[in-house]
Every structure is written in C-alpha cells, then in structure tokens.
C-alpha cells in the first residue's frame, strides 16, 4: 500500500507540461487485482489508472513497456468493492477479514486533464455513492446507501488504495438522529419533530 501511495503522490506532484511517463506502476496486479489496495481494482482498470503500453528504446531496440501516467479517468458506472464480490471472486487481502462489506459506485466523473504550457494539471472530479452490505442471505444482499461524496480523481485513487475513512461509515441509527419527544429546546419550547 505504501509503495502505491508514494508512486501516486510523486506522479501527481510532478511539475511541467511535458512529464515523462514512469516505468514504476501505481499497482502491481497480483492475481489480476491491484495488490495491497483496500478496494478490489482489477486489471481491466489499467486504462482508467493511466497504465498503458508505451514505446521505449531499450538496448537500442524499440520495445513496448508498461508505463504509468497521472491522467486518471474513472467514469460513471465504475464500481469497486472492498471484498470478494461480483467481478472479484478471487480477491483477498489480509486486512479485509473483519471489515464491513463496502461498495463504491461512481455516479459522475470528469477526467484529469494534463498540464499544458498555459495551464496547471486539472485533477478532475469523482462523485460517488458509498453502500454497505446490511444483510446477506440466500436471496442475495441488501445494500444501503450511507453517503454520497465528491473527490478529485487523485483523492479517489488514494481512497481505493487506503480505504474509506472510518468516520464515513459510522452512521447513527434513526433513533439517535431524531430528538426525544420529551426533550426541550434551550428556551423551554418543544423541538420541531420531523
């Protein structure tokens, strides 16, 4: 995880409009998934992660090598899980055993735009829904939306690597959110119950 974060940070902090693509990749795809990331990110997200084959000269020969850029382009409909589910049946990471099952669905997004001669790099945006698995039984799963968030593409990549902050999933029950009907406001009046 630390390796991925360090590469990611070095990529997005590069200055200039002619930045050479790195041969250090943000993810090592162990078993077809980004190794040691908190969310299951399969190999088919390489293009969205700006991992592509680039022609390079090695030992005076032109060869195609995998390179990493920072023009991330996750799009609406992209869905990620922090556990083995759907497209990631073989996904396993040791720190996932006692976590709640979380799904992230991108609702809308704009891509990163590389720096140009006159403009700084634009990190784009990602608007997404966070869902947790409330119940799993023979008839399937019950997913509950617990929040909608917006991050830029760089921050969203970090979220996939590090996981969801715990305060995003600590949700009060409805009973805790509603005031007690016997409670009084500071001025002694009854609260407006919804």
Phi and psi at 186, nearest 5°, equal -55, -35
- pTM, two decimals, is 0.77
Tens digit of pLDDT for each residue in 10-60? 888 777 667 788 999 999 987 788 888 999 898 999 999 999 999 999 899
Structure tokens that stand for 115 in this block: 């720096």
Determine how many CB atoms are found less than 10 A away from the CB of residue 92.
Answer: 14
More confident residue, 46 or 181: 46
Tens digit of pLDDT for each residue in 126-162? 999 999 887 666 566 788 899 999 999 999 999 999 9
Instruction: List Cα–Cα distances, 137 to 88, 142, 159, in angstroms.
Output: 19, 9, 29
- Neighbour-count burial for 105-138, b at 16+ CB within 10 Å, e otherwise: bbeebbbbebbeeeeebbbbbbebbbbbbeeeee
Tens digit of pLDDT for each residue in 65-114? 999 999 999 999 999 988 765 555 555 444 444 567 888 999 999 999 98
pLDDT at 184 over 50: no
């Amino acid at each position: 995880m630390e390796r991925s974060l360090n590469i990611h940070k070095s990529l997005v902090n590069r200055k200039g409009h002619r930045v050479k693509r790195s041969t250090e990749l943000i993810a090592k795809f162990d078993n077809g998934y980004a190794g040691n990331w908190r969310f299951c990110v399969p190999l088919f997200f390489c293009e969205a992660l700006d991992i592509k084959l680039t022609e390079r000269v090695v030992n005076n020969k032109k060869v195609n090598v995998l390179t990493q850029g920072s023009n991330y382009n996750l799009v609406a409909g992209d869905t990620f899980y922090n556990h083995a589910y759907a497209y990631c049946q073989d996904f396993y990471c040791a720190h996932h055993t006692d976590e709640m099952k979380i799904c992230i669905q991108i609702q809308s997004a704009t891509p990163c735009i590389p720096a140009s001669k006159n403009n700084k790099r634009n990190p784009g945006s990602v608007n997404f829904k966070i869902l947790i698995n409330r119940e799993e039984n023979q008839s399937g799963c019950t997913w509950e939306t617990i929040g909608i968030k917006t991050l830029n593409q760089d921050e969203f990549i970090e979220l996939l690597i590090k996981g969801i902050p715990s305060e995003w999933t600590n949700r009060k029950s409805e009973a805790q959110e509603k005031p007690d009907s016997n409670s009084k406001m500071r001025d002694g009046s009854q609260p407006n119950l919804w």
